[in-house]
Amino acid sequence: MEGYNTIKTKSKLEQTTIIKVFQQIKNTRQGIRPPQSQVVIKRGQSEFKPGEIIYTPPRGTVILEKKIKNLIEFLNDHKKYPVDPLLKMVIAHYQFEAIHPFTDGNGRTGRILNLLYLVQQELLSHPVLFLSKYILNHKDDYYANLAGVTTRNAWKPWINYMLTAVEITAKETNQTIDEILNQMNATHLHAKKKLKWYSLELNQLLFSQPYIKPKKIGELLEVRSRTTLTKYMHELTDIGIVSPHQEGKEVFYINNDLIRILKS
């Protein structure tokens, strides 16, 4: 969310944005990898032997910052680098993983940056293209193609792999969005028959994320009475719209239909 808000505000990627994304993912205050960190890349799911070091990323604060600056310039300067946005994303993703700017979490950070760049380029309105699922399901090819660029300068297989990931993921995402919209409509029709106070705005709120706290519903409905709000939550539970879950003293409610669609 931090990265998305920054992109929408500034319309470009910056080093601070990259660092903030990493810090949010890892829940840390660390920044760029310090020069003394002996970070190496060992075999993932590929043809290499377990534990074998296959790549040593660049080290040194000045070197890393210079390479990150070059990456950011490549992404933002479209006059100097007039490359198709999708191709630019693919090339930049390899570049980011090769720089490996953080001690950990580079893979997840890099995949989020892919989406932020597509949002910046207005190819996505929101970062909803779940490329991580495809990459994690095809890790063998992912690591092999990354290594191919590093060791043999084999760009074509890498580009084909990533573009295929975008195509397949885009189709799956469109299908998921259609399923969510159909479920939203069905839920709204069902709830309106059972509950007079159920509104379209509440329906949209319940589908804005997989779980919700009663406080959010109270704010939307302008209900200040705890008794009334508790009654509403019980009614939503009774007709199968949500189900209650508790963590410690805190109770939240899960939209089971939305969870089912997102997990499929």
DSSP 134-169: HHHHTHHHHHHHHHHHHHH--HHHHHHHHHHHHHHH
pTM check: above 0.85: no
More confident residue, 3 or 46: 3
**Tokens 């879950």 correspond to what residue?**
245
pLDDT of amino acid 126: 79
Cα–Cα dist 212/205, whole Å: 9
pLDDT, one tens digit per residue, over 73-132 is 999 999 999 999 999 999 999 999 999 999 999 999 999 999 999 999 988 887 788 888
Backbone angles phi, psi at 134, to 5 degrees: -65, -45
Q: Confidence band (pLDDT; 50, 70, 90) for 35? A: confident
pLDDT band at 48 (very low <50, low <70, confident <90, very high): very low
Position with higher pLDDT, 128 vs 18 = 18
For residues 20-35, average pLDDT: 91
What residue ranges do the domains of the chain occupy?
2-173, 195-263
Domain 2-173: CATH superfamily, name plus number: Fido-like domain (1.10.3290.10)
- The mean pLDDT value for 15-28 works out to 92
Nearest-10 Cα torsion for 30, 36, 38, 39 = 30
**What is the rounded (10 degree) CA torsion for 228, 213, 263, 194?**
10
- CA atoms of 207 and 234, how far apart (whole Å): 18
pLDDT of residue 45: 42
Average pLDDT score, the chain: 90
- Of the candidate CATH numbers 2.60.120.200, 1.10.3720.10, 1.10.10.10, 3.40.50.12170, the domain formed by 195-263 belongs to 1.10.10.10
